[in-house]
Amino acid sequence: MLTTRPRGTNDILPGEVEKWQYVEQLAREVCREYGYGELRTPIFEHTELFSRGVGETTDIVEKEMYTFTDRGERSITLRPEGTAAAVRAYLDNKLQALPQPVKLYYMGPMFRYDRPQAGRYRQFHQFGVEVFGSHSPSIDAEVIAMAMDIYRRIGLRDLELHINSVGCPKCRPGLRQRLQEHFKPHLAKLCPNCQGRFERNPLRILDCKNESCQELGRHAPTTLDVLCEECETHFNQVKGYLDTVGVPYIVNNRLVRGLDYYTHTAFEIMAQDIGAQSSIGGGGRYNGLMEACGGPATPGIGFALGLERILLTAERQGITFPVSRGPAVFVATVGSELEKQAFALLQSLRQQGIAAEKDYLARSLKAQMKYAGKLGARWVVILGEEELARGVAMVRDMQAGEQQEVGLAELVNYIRNTTNNNQCRGL
């Protein structure tokens, strides 16, 4: 127990973490270009925020939340997604007072008590954006295009973008009625979950993963059959903007998304290469959410991308990321008397921006050289009594296998001139 991590969680180790940093950095850069500011919310919130904000009838709220009572007898939940907290933060911090729309992004761990498998974890990481305060279909298109831009810059290929309109409170009641008429004769054949959804939210039956429910839903009416004029216009405009910027999409009238507060646009991005858990991101408009959370009616739209699944897709597609190469310089010593000088040189190199390392286990010179090789050091600076007295050190080029004396005063320049900047930083 003590040495095993909880089921559905991962350790991300050096060597692997550089890929995460690369993708995170890339996402931040895209956000800067598109005008999104970073929002950091707490990892836990009041449970009610999610039951209201995500929706009582969703899988997340019904069975996947990590909920506990804290010592003050409050019900607390580890965040299962980012949108509800962004809405809470918008209201809490009175961001309505800012010029609208407000464009935010977040990244970090989310928690769902799901059945773990490849690409599905109990602690996973999302990068997401939210835009509050605009009804414009151009924002829907921007958010979708931005997600696709991120995948493209990472180098992911063969992705499918599915889009749909899930209607609005005006046209949804009509759909609800038609869905109930469709499913009523088959009620007994629906899974127990969907039997519950039949009354509460029949639209979600279309979203069920159970095979017999999917089969029964195959000929059910869809949102696109009942869209009101306003929703239809909005959807056509979103498609028009996507066409303008050359983002290909598939209209998928089965796409409903699991969350109750979605209105108008819904979208999901699938990767072919990662098996059953093929959704690498999704999002949509949620014009009803702000009010459901007790705020003034404010339109919103956003997406969340799963970082584990992006990295899994990249791996399956053979995409390589920049990897850490170890220190530029390893400072070795002949004999233990020079430890202090080695330590001083090490600090001075680091303070001048050069990634440097030394031995901490009192190794022999030979063992130090071997260790430097294992770390992947580009240079080994060997400090010896006699050389130090002359103000020089032996510098070994680990790539060429050659060495030469270099004056200590010139050492930093020597390393800089013969190594590129990234190598100096150990990148």
Closest CB to ligand AMP: residue number: 306
Q: Which two tokens stand for residue 130?
A: 């939210």
Neighbouring residues of 118: CB distance < 8 A, sequence distance ≥ 6: 274, 275, 276, 277, 312
Is residue 273 at the binding interface for ligand AMP, with CB under 6 A as the rule? no
Is residue 308 at the binding interface for ligand AMP, with CB under 6 A as the rule? yes
Per the annotation, does 82 bind a ligand?
A: yes
Per CB under 6 A, the segment of 132-140, 155-163, 303-311, 368-376 that binds ligand AMP is 303-311
Per CB under 6 A, the segment of 37-45, 146-154, 224-232, 304-312 that binds ligand AMP is 304-312
Q: Reduce the DSSP state of residue 160 to 3 states and report it.
A: strand
- Residue 279 belongs to what H/E stretch? strand 279-285
Cα angle at 322 between 320 and 324, to 5 degrees?
A: 125
Is residue 126 at the binding interface for ligand AMP, with CB under 6 A as the rule? yes
Site for ligand AMP in 60-89 (CB under 6 A): 81
Alpha-carbon distance 377 to 325, whole Å? 8
Alpha-carbon distance 116 to 118, whole Å? 7
Is residue 316 at the binding interface for ligand AMP, with CB under 6 A as the rule? no
Per CB under 6 A, the segment of 84-92, 166-174, 207-215, 277-285 that binds ligand AMP is 277-285
Site for ligand AMP in 11-70 (CB under 6 A): none
Alpha-carbon distance 288 to 165, whole Å? 15
Is residue 260 at the binding interface for ligand AMP, with CB under 6 A as the rule? no
Per the annotation, does 83 bind a ligand?
A: yes
Is residue 204 at the binding interface for ligand AMP, with CB under 6 A as the rule? no
Q: Which two tokens stand for residue 238?
A: 């979103």
Per CB under 6 A, the segment of 101-109, 115-123, 245-253, 321-329 that binds ligand AMP is 115-123
Alpha-carbon distance 289 to 285, whole Å? 9
In the list 133, 137, 281, 299, the residue contacting ligand AMP (rule: CB under 6 A) is 281
In the list 161, 304, 406, 415, the residue contacting ligand AMP (rule: CB under 6 A) is 304
- Residue 140 contacts residue 301 (beta carbons within 8 Å): yes
Is residue 120 at the binding interface for ligand AMP, with CB under 6 A as the rule? yes
Count of residues touching ligand AMP (by CB under 6 A): 16
Is residue 285 at the binding interface for ligand AMP, with CB under 6 A as the rule? no
Per the annotation, does 425 bind a ligand?
A: no
Alpha-carbon distance 394 to 407, whole Å? 9
Neighbouring residues of 176: CB distance < 8 A, sequence distance ≥ 6: 202, 203
In the list 124, 127, 249, 261, the residue contacting ligand AMP (rule: CB under 6 A) is 124
Shortest CB 210 distance to ligand AMP, Å? 17
Question: Kind of pairing, strands 159-165 and 123-132?
Answer: unpaired
Alpha-carbon distance 244 to 310, whole Å? 26
Is residue 182 at the binding interface for ligand AMP, with CB under 6 A as the rule? no
Is residue 105 at the binding interface for ligand AMP, with CB under 6 A as the rule? no
Which residue number, 64 or 230, has a Cβ lying nearer to ligand AMP? 64
Per CB under 6 A, the segment of 111-119, 323-331, 336-344, 401-409 that binds ligand AMP is 111-119
Q: Reduce the DSSP state of residue 268 to 3 states and report it.
A: strand
Per the annotation, does 261 bind a ligand?
A: yes
Shortest CB 85 distance to ligand AMP, Å? 12
Got the DSSP string for 70-130?
-TTS-EEEE-S-SHHHHHHHHHHTTGGGSSSSEEEEEEEEEE-----BTTB-SEEEEEEEE
- Residue 381 contacts residue 393 (beta carbons within 8 Å): yes
Per CB under 6 A, the segment of 112-120, 164-172, 288-296, 365-373 that binds ligand AMP is 112-120
Binding site for L-histidine, residues? 81-83, 112, 126, 130, 257, 261-262
> What is the contact surface with ligand AMP in residues (CB under 6 A)?
81, 112, 114, 119-121, 124, 126, 279-282, 304, 306, 308-309
